[in-house]
Chain A
Amino acid sequence: MKALPLFEDLAEFYNGHNAVAERVEKSKLQYMHIPTRLDTAIETWVMQKSDVILTGNPGDGKTHIISILQDKGSLSTAYLEKDASQKDTEAILKMWQQKKQENIPFVLAINHAPLRNLAAKAQAYSGLEHLVNIPDEIENFIYYNEAPKSKLQRTVVVDLSQREIVTTTIVKGIVDRLCQQITSTPCNDCPPRKCPVEYNAEALSSEEVLHNLVTILTLVAQRGFHTTMRDLIGLVAYILTGDKPCATRWQPVKNDDGDFSTPTFEDYVYYNLLFKGRSRLFNAIRTTFDPSNYSDSDSDAKLWAGAIRDGWLMPEPLVISPGSLVELRSLKRRYFFEHRHDTAKLLQRTLPSTEYNFGELIKGKLDDPSEVENLVGMINNLYAPLHAHQRTDQRYRLRLWNSHRYSVGNRPGYFTMRSIPADNLIIHRPKAIPQIAQAMEIRQDHVLLAVQDWVPGDPSLRIDWPMYQALTSAYYGTPIEVQPFHILRRLDLFLRSLGPEAGGSRHIENIEWSDHKQWTLVSIRVNRTNQNYEQERHA
Chain B
Amino acid sequence: MNIDFESIFFDQTVEEILFYSPKIEIKPVHLANGLFRAVCGKFAEALDQHIAIYPKRYPNSNVNEQIRGVLNNILSADGALFAIAQMSSYTLSHVSHITSDNHDRRTGEWLFAILTHDHGDGLSPALELLRTLLNQDDRRRSDEVSTLTLPLTKSSYELRDFKPQMPDQRPSSLEVDETGSFCDPLLYSIRKGFDCISKHDRGKGNFGEKLDILRRLVIWGCFSIYLHLANSGSLDRKKRVPMMLCMVESPSPTLQQASTQSYQWAGRSIDKFLRAAICDTLNRIAEKGTYGSWETDADIRQHIQTMIWKASGGRMQQYEARLAKYTPQCLLFYDSYLSDTANQSPRAAFANAAADMIDQIVSSSPTAVARSLGTRIGLLSPGPYARKRYTAVPDLLEVLVRATIPPHEQLTIDELARYWADHYGLLFGALGDENARLAEWGIDVIDGSSLYDNTDALATILELSGYARRYADGVILVSVRE
Which residues does A use to contact B, with CB under 8 Å? 56-58, 85, 111-114, 116, 161, 400, 402-408, 411-413, 415-418, 484-486, 489-490, 492-493, 495-496, 498-500, 502, 504-505, 509, 511, 513, 515, 522, 524, 526-529, 531-533, 535, 537
Q: Check if B376 sits within 8 Å of A407, measured CB to CB.
A: yes
Least CB separation from B475: chain A residue: A113
- Choose one: A113, A402, A406, A412; the contact of B27 (CB below 8 Å): A406
**8 Å CB interface, B37-75 against A:** 63-64, 66-67, 70, 73-74
Chain A residues with CB under 8 Å of B77's CB are 404-405, 411-412
Which residues does chain B contribute within 8 Å of A56, judged by CB atoms?
A: 472
Task: Report, nearest first, the 4 A-B pairs whose CB atoms are least far apart.
Answer: A499-B207, A113-B475, A486-B464, A112-B471
Quick check: A502 and B150 within 8 Å, CB to CB?
no
Tell me the dominant secondary structure on chain A's binding face: mixed
Contact B63 A404 (CB under 8 A): no
CB of B394 within 8 A of CB of A489, answer: yes
Chain A residues with CB under 8 A of B154:
531-532
In the complex, how many residue pairs between chain A and chain B have their CB atoms under 8 Å apart? Answer: 154
A522 pairs with B215, CB closer than 8 A: no
Which B residues touch A511, using CB under 8 A? Answer: 144, 147-148
Min distance, Cβ B136 to any Cβ of chain A, angstroms: 9
For A505, list chain B residues within 8 Å (CB): 139-142, 147
Residues of B within 8 A of A402 (CB): 143-144, 208, 211
B residues sitting closer than 8 Å to A (CB atoms) are: 27-29, 31-32, 63-64, 66-67, 70, 73-74, 77-79, 91, 93, 138-145, 147-148, 150-151, 154, 206-209, 211-212, 215, 218-219, 376-378, 393-396, 398, 461, 464-466, 471-475, 477
Task: Give the docked Cα–Cα distance between A498 and B206 (Å).
Answer: 12
Q: Report B-chain residues with C-beta under 8 Å of the C-beta of A522.
A: 66, 70
A112 to B477, CA, bound (A): 11
**A405–B75 Cα gap in the complex (Å)?**
9
Q: How far is the CB of A436 from chain B (nearest CB, A)?
A: 19
A418 & B208 in contact (Cβ 8 Å cutoff): yes
Contact A412 B73 (CB under 8 A): yes
Contact call A415/B144, Cβ cutoff below 8 A:
yes
Q: Is the CB of B207 within 8 A of A502?
A: yes
Q: Judge whether A524 and B70 touch: CB under 8 Å.
A: yes
User: With the chains together, A279 CA to B376 CA distance in Å?
Assistant: 41
B475 contacts A413, C-beta separation under 8 Å: no
- Please tell me if the beta carbons of B139 and A489 are within 8 angstroms of each other in the complex: no
* Chain A proximity of B62: nearest CB distance (Å): 10
Point out the residues of chain B lying under 8 angstroms from A112, CB to CB: 471-472, 475
A533-B394 Cα distance, complex, nearest whole Å: 37
B residues less than 8 Å from A405 (CB atoms): 77-78, 91, 215
Q: Are B473 and A85 in contact (CB under 8 A)?
A: yes
Rounded to whole angstroms, the CA-CA distance of A289 and B477 in the bound complex is 34
A405 CA / B218 CA spacing, docked (Å): 11
Residues in A whose Cβ lies below 8 Å from that of B93: 404
B206 contact set on A, CB distance < 8 A:
499, 504
Contacts of B138 in A (CB 8 A): 528, 531
Known contacts A404-B93, A490-B466, A531-B138: A499-B74 contact under CB 8 Å:
no
Q: From residue A284, how far is it (CB to closest CB) to chain B in Å?
A: 17
- Dominant secondary structure at the B interface: helix
Question: Could you tell me if B28 and A407 are in contact, using CB atoms closer than 8 angstroms?
Answer: yes
CA distance A270 to B424 in the complex (A): 55
Q: Are A493 and B466 in contact (CB under 8 A)?
A: yes
B145 nearest CB neighbor, chain A only: A404
Nearest A residue to B31 via CB reads A406
From A406, A413, A418, contact of B74 by CB (8 A): A413
A526 touches B140 (CB 8 A): no
- Which of B31, B144, B393, B395 touches A416 (beta carbons < 8 Å)? B144
Question: How distant is the Cα of A489 from the Cα of B466 in the complex, in angstroms?
Answer: 9
* CB proximity of A368 to chain B, nearest CB, Å: 25
A379 to chain B, nearest CB (A): 15
B477 touches A116 (CB 8 A): yes
Some 17 contacts from A to B, beta carbons below 8 A apart, are A58-B472, A85-B473, A404-B91, A404-B215, A407-B78, A408-B377, A408-B378, A412-B77, A413-B73, A485-B394, A485-B461, A499-B206, A505-B140, A513-B74, A526-B148, A531-B138, A533-B64
Measured CB to CB, the nearest residue on chain B to A532 is B151
Contact call A513/B73, Cβ cutoff below 8 A:
yes
Contact A528 B139, CB 8 Å, known A116-B471, A533-B151: yes
Q: A408-B377, A499-B208 are in contact. Are A111 and B471 (CB under 8 A)?
A: yes
Q: Cα distance A269–B474 when bound, in Å?
A: 36
In the complex, what distance in Å separates the CA atom of A513 from the CA atom of B148? 10
Asked if B66 contacts A528 (CB within 8 A), the reply is no
A500 to B471, CA, bound (A): 33
Residue in contact with B473 in the complex, picked from A58, A403, A496, CB distance below 8 Å: A58
Q: Which chain B residue lies CB-closest to A110?
A: B472
CB-CB under 8 A from A493, the residues of chain B are 466
A158 to chain B, nearest CB (A): 14
A509 and B377 contact, CB distance less than 8 A: no
Q: How far is the CA of A235 from the CA of B271 in the complex (A)?
A: 60
Complex Cα distance A139/B283, Å? 65
Partner of A496, one of B32, B144, B209, B215: B209
Give chain A residues whose Cβ lies under 8 Å from the Cβ of B477: 113, 116
Neighbouring A residues of B472 by C-beta, 8 Å: 56-58, 85, 111-113, 161
Q: How far is the CA of A406 from the CA of B222 in the complex (A)?
A: 10
Residues of chain A within 8 A of B27, CB atoms compared:
406-407
The answer to whether A524 and B91 have CB atoms under 8 Å apart is no
Q: A415-B148, A417-B143 are in contact. List 9 more A-B contacts (CB 8 A).
A: A112-B475, A116-B471, A404-B93, A413-B73, A416-B144, A492-B212, A505-B140, A513-B74, A531-B151
Please give the distance in Å from A450's CB to the nearest CB on chain B.
16
Q: Do residues B73 and A537 form an inter-chain contact, with CB atoms below 8 A? A: no
A526 to B64, CA, bound (A): 13
A492 to B215, CA, bound (A): 14
Q: Which residue of B lies closest to A59 (CB)?
A: B472
Instruction: Tell me the complex Cα distance, A404–B475, Å.
Output: 35
CA distance A387 to B118 in the complex (A): 56
Roughly how many angstroms separate A336 CA and B318 CA in the complex, as a whole number?
82
How far does the alpha carbon of A537 sit from the alpha carbon of B70 in the complex, in Å?
A: 12
Residue of A58, A495, A533, A535 most packed against chain B (CB within 10 A)? A533
Point out the residues of chain B lying under 8 angstroms from A85, CB to CB.
Answer: 472-473
CA distance A492 to B139 in the complex (A): 25
Which residue from chain B places its CB closest to the CB of A502 in the assembled complex? Answer: B207
A502 partner residues in chain B, CB cutoff 8 A: 207
Q: Point out which of B208, B215, B396, B464 has the most chain A C-beta atoms below 10 A from its C-beta.
A: B208
**What residues of chain B lie closer than 8 Å to A416, measured between beta carbons?**
144
CA distance A14 to B378 in the complex (A): 44
> With A and B bound together, what is the CA distance between A280 and B404 in angstroms?
34
Alpha-carbon distance between A113 and B73 when the two chains are bound, in angstroms: 48
If A85-B473, A416-B144 touch, whether A408 touches B64 (CB-CB below 8 Å) is no
Q: B150 near A400 (CB under 8 angstroms)?
A: no
Whether A496 and B208, one on each chain, are in contact in the complex, defined by CB atoms closer than 8 angstroms, is yes
* Interface pair B218/A500, CB less than 8 Å apart: no
Query: B91: which of A406, A408, A417, A499 is its contact (CB, 8 Å)?
Result: A406
Are A111 and B473 neighbours in the complex by a CB distance under 8 Å?
Answer: yes
A499 proximity list for chain B (CB < 8 A): 206-209
Minimum C-beta distance from A141 to chain B (A): 14
Q: How far is the CB of A92 from chain B (nearest CB, A)?
A: 15
User: How far, in Å, is B67 (CB) from chain A's closest CB?
Assistant: 6
Return A306 CB to nearest CB of chain B, in Å.
Answer: 46
B residues in contact with A486, CB < 8 Å: 394, 461, 464-465
- Closest CB in chain A relative to B469 CB, distance in Å: 9
In the complex, residue of chain A having the shortest beta-carbon distance to the beta carbon of B469: A112
Chain A residues lying within 8 Å of B393, measured Cβ to Cβ, are: 408
Are B67 and A524 closer than 8 Å at their CB atoms?
yes
